[in-house]
Amino acid sequence: MLIPQGFILRPLLSLIGFGPFGPIKGSTAAWAQRRFWGAAVAKGSWFSVLQRAGMTLGLSWWQWIKVMSVAVMAWFWKLFH
């Protein structure tokens, strides 16, 4: 795949209110949770699938550390060579 899923899905999910830490207060996602589920979202429901996608499409902390480490090493390599 040439374009990562997060490149397209993250902005779309953010537009309707599914953020990296759950539904964003005052958003369409927060309204849908209140209207259809309340505090107990059913496992496997459409809402839980979208919520999970909104929370997990980014890099994990370990992946972020690896990417930043490589970027810093490349910067030092360019600086001193």
DSSP string, 41-63: PPTTSHHHHHHHHHHHSS--HHH
pTM of the model: 0.58
Residues in the chain: 81
Indicate the DSSP class of residue 39: T
Task: Name the band, by pLDDT with cuts 50, 70 and 90, for residue 61.
Answer: low
Query: Token match 């997060």: residue?
Result: 6
Counted domains in the chain: 1
Domain that holds residue 46: 5-80
Work out the average pLDDT over 36-48.
85
